Chain A
Amino acid sequence: MSAADAVAIEVAGLHAHYGDKAVLRDISLQVAAGEVMVIMGGSGSGKSTLLRHLLGLQQPTSGTVKVLGVDLGRAGRLALLQMRRRIGVAFQGGALFSSMTVGENILLPLREHTRLDDATMRIMMRLKLDFVNLPGAEDLMPAELSGGMIKRAALARAIVMDPKLVFLDEPSAGLDPVVAAGLDELILELKATGVSLVVVTHELDSAFRIADRITVLDRGEILISDTVVAVRASPNARVQALLNRRVEHARHDPDEFLRALTRAD
């Protein structure tokens, strides 16, 4: 195994801004091949933004992101394309193409990137549907699926090209506990096949069940990036607040607060 293969993702000194506002500050992290890295954090912590940077959907202000050995900031179109054929992504809302059936959605990457014959592609599609426990759903339209089914269909589409690295954005958000646990099982089964996974979530139970390592983000910074045991034992108050679901009250300076209330626009 070469060095590039041992590391699935390498982020160094990543800074990102929306306008003047810094949303990610000095993010550095590594995801080893074959591990499940969970990125956790509350709303507005920057975890979705970090995911967009890992996918090359946004350009950082500074810093580098390497995915499967490809430097996203420097790679040409063809190198990016080849890298993207080796990753799979399941977005939070599924992002299934609403004008296509579930089957066509899953077939799309195969049709676009391979020259397999149609019968073979259909077999692969049905295998993946079976893997995510949606056998026979290929002729349904995305609008006919429940929330849990959409997430599973999106996962099937993400893994149809047998990727080396899979990104999942909030795989269990908004699902009932049984369905969510089922998805966690699928993630662990995927991991067992040697796939590296990056899972963005704010569900603690799910994170502890599936993670090899956890990165906790807060206000655009990494608080800790370590094993599950180390994260649980972290002395950092903000990490513990997140783990124990403690509400952090912002403390107001009384004068500042009064000025904000009475401000004339």
Chain B
Amino acid sequence: MRKLAETFGRDIQAGLTELGQASVLLVEALQYTLTGSARQQPVRLSAVLAQAMDMGIRALPIVTVLSLAIGAMVAIQGIYSLGLFGAESKVTLGAALSVSREFAPLITGVLVAGRSGSALAARLGTMKINQELDALVVMGIDPVRFLVAPALLAMLLMLPLLTWFADVVGLFGAGLYITTTLGQGFPAYLADLQAALTVDDLLHGIGKSAIFAVEITLIGVVNGLGVSGGADGIGRVTTRAVVHGISAIVITDMLFAWLVIQG
């Protein structure tokens, strides 16, 4: 019993330490972004763009496929469940709100956590084990400025853009199923969409994705920096980054939705 309590206490302590570490990293990365040039530690645009290319542009194919599938899935389930009480015609409203407010940001976030959060953890973990981080420090290059800030900025830029893209593709996928099943023309579907969607709905999803971006980056970085041991250590932190990243996204999503609806 005592051992259990000890383990529990130690886990809580470790969790709080990581949370503190993530907060410090966030503040430092933002400081470098704003004032780095004056301190001879500029965050380079080229580094941000390279990361944005990797995290955003290269994720487009898979985001397209998944958003199409999710959009169609929402339409299929919507028509089935609304059909139970003869309200199939309301499916466009349901699909519009659920894709823009929930599914697009959630699925994009999960995907990017799996692709880029894990890659970040693996990259930083490998660099730490190979003493590449030490090499940066002794060269007078702060790793937070050189590695963390560009990743954070790129993620903050690309995840909302990807989410917006997923909105468009997802609603197109839903439209394909709805128009063929209900025999509605595509222009009529678009008109329904326009009536159903407000800018607030889109911003609700895109706003969430900005929070997810910060979470995915910081969780990837903290896990990468916390690596110990050799190759298996990197495997461990990479998996941990994905699991923690997805958990953080889902929990934040719930809290955000609840808070916004309260307000």
Contacts and interface: CB of A to CB of B under 8 A. Distances in A.
A93 B132 CA distance: 10
B138 A55 contact: yes
B180 interface: no
B140 A113 contact: yes
Nearest to A57: B134
B141 A89 contact: no
Which size class do B's interface residues fall under? 10 to 19
Interface stretch (A27-35, A36-44, A80-88, A191-199): A80-88
A84 B135 contact: no
Q: Is the interface of B mostly helix, strand, loop or mixed?
A: helix
A208 interface: no
A211 B135 CA distance: 24
A91 B134 contact: yes
Q: Is the interface of A mostly helix, strand, loop or mixed?
A: mixed
Nearest to A112: B141
A95 B137 contact: no
Contact of B130 (A84, A95, A108, A109): A95
A27 to B, nearest CB: 19
A84 B126 CA distance: 23
B131 A95 contact: yes
A96 B135 CA distance: 8
Given A77-B39, A91-B131, A95-B134, A108 B139 contact: yes
A84 B141 CA distance: 9
A244 interface: no
A95 B39 contact: no
A78 interface: yes
A98 interface: yes
A97 interface: yes
A57 B130 contact: no
B137 A81 contact: no
Contacts of A52: 134
B184 to A, nearest CB: 51
Contacts of B130: 93, 95, 98
6 contacts: A57-B134, A57-B137, A78-B39, A91-B131, A95-B135, A97-B132
Given A55-B137, A93-B131, A96-B132, 8 more contacts: A81-B40, A84-B137, A87-B138, A95-B130, A97-B132, A98-B126, A108-B141, A112-B139
